[in-house]
Structures are given as structure tokens and as C-alpha cells.
Amino acid sequence: MAQDVKTQLTALLQQALASVAPAASTTPIQLERPRDSSHGDFSTNLAMQLAKALKKNPRDIAQQLLNELPVSTLVTSAELAGAGFINFRLDVRTKTDVITAVLREKADFGRSTVGGRQKVQVEFVSANPTGPLHVGHGRGAAYGASLSSLLSFAGWDVTREYYVNDAGRQMDILGLSTWLRYLDQHGQTVPFPPNAYQGDYVRDMAKQMTVAHGEKYVRAAADVLTGTPGLPDAGRADDEAKQQRELHLDALIARAKVLLGGDWHYVHQHALNEQLEDCRDDLQAFGVEFEVWYSEKALYDTGLVARCVALLEAKGHIYLQNGAKWFRSTAFGDEKDRVVQRENGLYTYFASDIAYHLNKFERGFDKVINIWGADHHGYIPRVTGAIKALALDSDKLQVALVQFAVLYRNGQKASMSTRSGEFVTLRELRREVGNDACRFFYALRKSDQHLDFDLDLAKSQTNENPVYYIQYAHARICSVLGQWTGDETDLLAADLSLLVNPRELTLANQLAQFWEVIETAARDLAPHMIAFYLKDLAGEFHAWYNAERMLVEETALRDARVALATAVRQTLRNGLAILGVSCPESM
């Protein structure tokens, strides 16, 4: 196996090091693959690491290491280069052994045990169920799903979790919005607040209420408006006007709860259930699944929020001010202290978030990964601080930030506001470019980097479209195998020593890097590295395919080349599976 090659090279260097500098024998040995293949297959800067401690020229140390390096069949040459690098060139057979490994391990090729079966929770998307998912949510969904698959492939025990914000003000606003549209359908028109949810999906939920329950929830418009403050002029956008609109909205919610009494629960739950089910269906169609859908409301129902605040209070991290309870967040690096319980006794969203994290830790996860939008960057210190205040291990928490994807259609930037209803849904994007392009394009950039989603490129069937380019490589190999008359199980016996063409050895070398990419990408929470790797692998294959015939007359060489192509196909499949992208057999 390729990883064994790296391990064995490390062992050779450790033996040489023990001879040259016994006192420095514990120095970590770094082996990297040179970007320029003319520099060999592996390179180490060990001599430069030792130079200061040994007070010698790095080139002299490198030469000493070379002199003491044990002979190995893995290596055809080891050379001194540059300021003191040692470059290794591997034996051809060592390079092609990876092909046999791929053919033998198939879907498990590249799978790692680096995760040690540690329990890791990945919480992602967690969008308020107040409307359809938009293209910004789609990036978080694609990243979270790919990262979860990557971590699982690398040996972690992964739990995918969606945190449902079903207990806050936003859900009350959605319930009110639905009820006002319902009243309008029955001739009781209340001026619709500009800061309520505007989309057609709200009208659809109101129609469902009418179909199911007729006029059961109708109340007079005049009663709804009784005691509510007026709205400012529509053209005003100053802070005072915004505050007045929010107060008006809260008053309408309060009136709805009074007028509907126990029926408010139905209206609220109807809106929640419809949007949550729509979200679930949308994500499932996108290839994104969750083992756990965790309710914020459950934190209150079980008393965990109250218990959490009481714990913080008992540990001296809470103080009273103006009737409210404040968490001393500044003691843990936050810019200001935070309210956890208002003067009216209601807990804040932050209080429930602390309780949710306490719950995560109490469930025994070895690592907790939160995937948040980049606009939540400032939230990290206060959550981390709360974890420390609860005497929990904050090192177990890792936050990955995701920049929103910006979609351009006809050169115009699309709005994504769920309140206004003017947004491009994930469902619409998938319908336009397909799941594969969505999943791959979302994975093409590091999660915290800006992403412009190029619709024209995503829909094109050219080599410029990376997902098409990779899938076309897979389809080409399937076509070759369709023309080949042999049995794939016999390829394990192919004479791989015949693969001496530089392009073939480059391809084999590329295959051998897959496990390294898996482990590095998992460690860095970076599934985009898989996308880059697959693009490079497809590029090497296309170059070989265009330069050489695979189905040559000579049987042994033909089988060796088919074995290599089959190994490439399997590796493409394994990588695309992590990213949630399909592998068409014809295109």
C-alpha cells in the first residue's frame, strides 16, 4: 500500500538519523511529494531541521544521512538536492503496487483508520424552518454532507445533526404571517407587516388551513389590530422606524395568541411542520441525510436551559443587572457580556444555544463540529467561553465557517432574503443545473472562501466544467471496459511491470496520493481537497487516454493498461461518492 511506502521510507530515515545524530533521533521526519516530478517521488528536509542543533551545513548533514541510509528495494535512488533536501525515486514496481491495492480494495480503497472510531457530531444547515432553503443554505448542506462522508471514510464515527430552531421569535413571525394570509382569504384583511414573511409559500400554507379547517381560525381584523402601535411611513428606513415595525410585529403576535388561545399552537405547528418537511424533502433530494433532528423546544421542555443557566450561576459566571441575568462573556474573550435571561423571565436564544452545547457534551462526543455561516464568526468566542465556564473541554469544539455562495443569473446577483420572499431556492438551483453540479461546485472552494456560482459553467458540457470533466473520465473508462472482453477479476494477475510509460507511472503515482489526500482533508475539515484531487486525476487520465491506445494487440500490455484504467475508475468513484456526486457510465 502507498501509505506503507511512506512509513517504510520514514523508517529508513530514522535508521540513518540514529547513526548520524543519536541525540536527535526523535526529530519528526517530514516526507512530502515534490510538486515537480523531476525532483523525485518523495522529498525530506530533515537535514535542514537538524542544521541548527548540529551546527553543521545542511548539505553536509544530508550527505551523511545518505551515506547511512539502508539499502531498500523500494528506492532506485536517493539524491542530495538544493540547500539540503534528500529526494527519493521509487522503484517502478513500488509505484504500480497501488493498482493492485485499488483493484483488491475497491470501494474501500483510500479508507483510513486515522479517526480511530472517535465519536464526532457534525451539526450543519440548521436553518430556521421559516421558508424554503436558498442557495446559501445549499453550500452549508453540501459542505456538511461531504465533510461527514469524508470523516466517516477516514475512520470517525459520525453523527449528522440538524438543530431545529422551533422555539424562537422567528417561528412566531412565520405563524403570524401564515395566519394573516389566512384571514385575508376570508375577507379579514390586516395590513401585512413589511418585516413578516412575504413568500408565496406562506400563502400556500394559509390555503392549506382553509382547506382543512374552513373558517375555524377566522377573527375580525379590527380585533387583531386592537391595541397595536401604528406603522411608520413605508419610505422610512431609519433605526426608529425599524424599531417601530418590530414593535408592531410583536404586538400582532401577542394579539394572535390572545385571540386564538389554544388554537395558536395549531397555527404555529402547522407552519413549522410544513416548512420542516419541505426542508427535509429538499435536503434528501440533494443527497443530504441526518441521523438526528434536534429540537430547540426540547431543551426547554426538559428543563435543560434552566439547568444550564443555574449551573453557570452556581459557578459565579452570572450577574444581575436591570432585572436581567448576564453571562460574564468578556471573561472568556468576548467583546461584551451577554444576556441569558431577560427581565421578563424569558431566556434568550444564546441561553438555549449554551444548553444545546451542554447537551452535545453530555452525549459523549469526542469532537463536536459546528458548521456556521461566516456571519456567525463573532458568535464563536461567546459559545466557547460558555463551554469553558461549564468546566467542559472547549478543545472538543471546532467551528467551520461557510461563506454564502453568490449566484449570478444573466449577470445579475440574486437576492436571498427569506423575509422578503425574493430568494433563489436550493430546489430551483438543483432543477436548473442538477444535483451533481450543485454538490461539486459547492465543494470547489475552501468553505470560508467567497464562492461565485457560475450557472453557465455548471451547465456546460465542456472540459472547462470540472464535474463534467471528471465524470467524462469515468464514462470513458466504462466505454473502454465495455469494449474489452476480459473478466475484471483477472486483472489482479495483470503484469504491471509492463507499465513503463511515463504517463502510466504518473497516473499510478496520482492514485497512491489518494489516501494522503483523504487523511489531510479530514484533518483540515477540507473536502474541497478531494475535488481538486479528482480534477487532477481526471486530467492525468485524459492525457494518457489521448496519447496511448489501451486496447492494444498484445494481451499482457492490454490487460495491464485496463487494470490501471479500472483502478482510476474506482478511485474516481470513491472520491465522487464522498462529495455526493454520481458516476455516469456513458455521457
For residue 1, pLDDT beyond 50 = no
pLDDT band, residue 7 (cuts 50/70/90): confident
User: Which range, of 293-297, 390-394, 402-406, 578-582, averages the lowest pLDDT?
Assistant: 402-406
Q: Please state the length of the chain.
A: 587
8 Å CB contact between 47 and 61: yes
The helix, strand and coil proportions of the chain, stated in percent and rounded to the nearest 5, come to 55, 15, 30
When pLDDT is averaged across residues 417-444 and rounded to a whole number, the result is: 84
How many Å separate Cα 241 from the centre of its chain? 39
User: What's the pLDDT tens digit per position in 289-298?
Assistant: 999 999 999 9
**pLDDT recorded at residue 230:** 86
For residue 377, pLDDT beyond 50 = yes
Domains along the sequence of the chain with CATH: 2-90 (3.30.1360.70), 169-276 (no CATH), 462-579 (1.10.730.10)
Q: Rounded CA gap, 43 and 57, in Å? A: 18
Tell me which long-range contacts 293-297 makes (C-beta under 8 A, separation of at least 24).
293/161, 293/162, 293/164, 294/161, 294/162, 294/163, 294/164, 294/356, 294/359, 295/164, 295/166, 295/167, 296/163, 296/164, 296/165, 296/166, 296/167, 296/168, 296/352, 296/356, 297/166, 297/167
Mean pLDDT in the chain? 94
Q: Rounded CA gap, 567 and 101, in Å? A: 9
User: Which range, of 109-118, 226-235, 344-353, averages the lowest pLDDT?
Assistant: 226-235
pTM flag (> 0.85): yes
User: What's the pLDDT tens digit per position in 435-473?
Assistant: 999 999 999 999 999 999 888 899 999 999 999 999 999
When pLDDT is averaged across residues 93-121 and rounded to a whole number, the result is: 96
**pLDDT recorded at residue 407:** 81
In SS3 terms, 367-389 reads as: EEEEEEEHHHCCHHHHHHHHHHH
pLDDT band, residue 104 (cuts 50/70/90): very high
8 Å CB contact between 409 and 425: no
Q: What is the largest CA-CA distance in the chain?
A: 94
**pLDDT recorded at residue 562:** 98
User: What's the pLDDT tens digit per position in 544-564?
Assistant: 999 999 999 999 999 999 999
Nearest to 130 by CA among 279, 283, 246, 253: 279
8 Å CB contact between 474 and 545: no
